[in-house]
Each structure stands twice: as structure tokens, then as C-alpha cells.
């Protein structure tokens, strides 16, 4: 699951960057106040998808680190039940 999230994050950030810089999304966003072309909206949604995937990766990484620490401490110090 985390491997999939990693590739989603990388692909969405790369696509958003290409659309934003390569296809004129940034220049259109800076130059006008009105309704934007789909390039601006699609690059924004792709960047948001990348942020969601990066958040999922962060939660997975720290969740795994906490799980390993708890398992290591339960082996090292033993589990005391009832206290």
C-alpha cells in the first residue's frame, strides 16, 4: 500500500509540475483574475492528490516506527498484565 502511495505521490507531483510550468499554468494564474483554463485546475488537483499521498506515506512511516518500537519494548521489558 505504501509503495503504491509513493508512486502516486511522485507521478502526481511530476504531472502537476509539468502542467504548471510547461503548459502555462503558472503564467495564466499570475496574469489573470478570471476563470482559468483546465490546466490550472488540473495541476492544482494533481498537487492536492500528491499531498494526500505524502500524508498517507508519513502516517504509514511513523505508524510502522511506533509499531516496531512497541514490539521491541514488549520483547525487551516484557508485558505486564493487569497494571
Domain ranges of the chain: 1-79
Q: In 10 A of CB 37, how many CB atoms?
A: 13
Q: pTM, whole model, 2 decimals?
A: 0.75
Look at residue 37 and give its three-state secondary structure: coil
Q: C-alpha cell of 55?
A: 500524508
pLDDT band at 81; cut points 50, 70, 90: low
Look at residue 74 and give its three-state secondary structure: helix
Question: Helix H segments across the chain?
Answer: 2-17, 25-31, 38-77
Distance from C-alpha of 27 to C-alpha of 50, rounded to nearest angstrom: 22
**pLDDT recorded at residue 33:** 85
Q: C-alpha cell of 9?
A: 505521490
Average pLDDT, the chain: 89
Amino acid at each position: 500500500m505504501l509503495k503504491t502511495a509513493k508512486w502516486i505521490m511522485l507521478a502526481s507531483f511530476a504531472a502537476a509540475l509539468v502542467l504548471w510550468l510547461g503548459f502555462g499554468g503558472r503564467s495564466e494564474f499570475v496574469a489573470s483574475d478570471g476563470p482559468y483554463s483546465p490546466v490550472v485546475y488540473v495541476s492544482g488537483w494533481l498537487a492536492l492528490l500528491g499531498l494526500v499521498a505524502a500524508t498517507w506515506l508519513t502516517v504509514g512511516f511513523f505508524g510502522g516506527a511506533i509499531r516496531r518500537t512497541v514490539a521491541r519494548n514488549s520483547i525487551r521489558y516484557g508485558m505486564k498484565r493487569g497494571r
